[in-house]
Amino acid sequence: MSSTFTLGLIGAVLTLVVLFEMLRRHRLREKYAVIWVVVVGATLVLAVFPELLTWAADALGVKVPANLLFFGAIMLLLFISVQLSYEIGRLEERTRTLAEEVALLRLQHERHHGRSAPMPTDVAPRAEDPTADDPGSPPHVS
């Protein structure tokens, strides 16, 4: 077994373990995991069949197969960066819209109830009523 195969196999298995653990803990969404599973698959294919990289480099006119591998990795990282930049922009827009909606609701609340009335989110939490969970019990009177 060649060291290239072993290193590629270890890297792919470790990446899969990390991916599944992140998915299990809800730290990674499925739509992002797909691209990493594809990367793991490509890593496994190239580790098992390194001559594919040499063949692809010859077919594309690249003299050094490692240069093709680096170019592919750089393009993948560029694609991921653009995708994440798009997602961040979209989330920033949603956050701004939500902040504006909250501000408008706060303004409406202040106009309707006056400035002295606290917003529901500003009210201190009440102590838990032990009978609140039981709908059949009579209300607790203090």
Put simply, whether the predicted model's pTM sits higher than 0.85 gets the answer no
- Predicted confidence at residue 136, as pLDDT, reads 47
- Predicted confidence at residue 131, as pLDDT, reads 45
Alpha helices (H) along 28-64: 30-48, 51-60
- Report the run of H or E that residue 25 belongs to, with start and end: none
**3-state SS assignment for residue 28:** coil
Written as six digits, the tokens of 112 are 């309707």
Q: How many CB atoms lie within 10 A of CB 74?
A: 10
**What is the block-wise mean pLDDT of the chain (142 residues), using blocks of 10 residues?**
78 92 93 90 89 95 95 95 96 97 95 71 51 46 42
- Predicted confidence at residue 140, as pLDDT, reads 45
In angstroms, the CA 26 to CA 14 distance is 18
- Predicted confidence at residue 1, as pLDDT, reads 57
- Each as own residue / partner, the long-range contacts of residues 86-91 (CB below 8 Å, 24 or more positions apart, any chain) are none
Name the residue type at position 118.
P
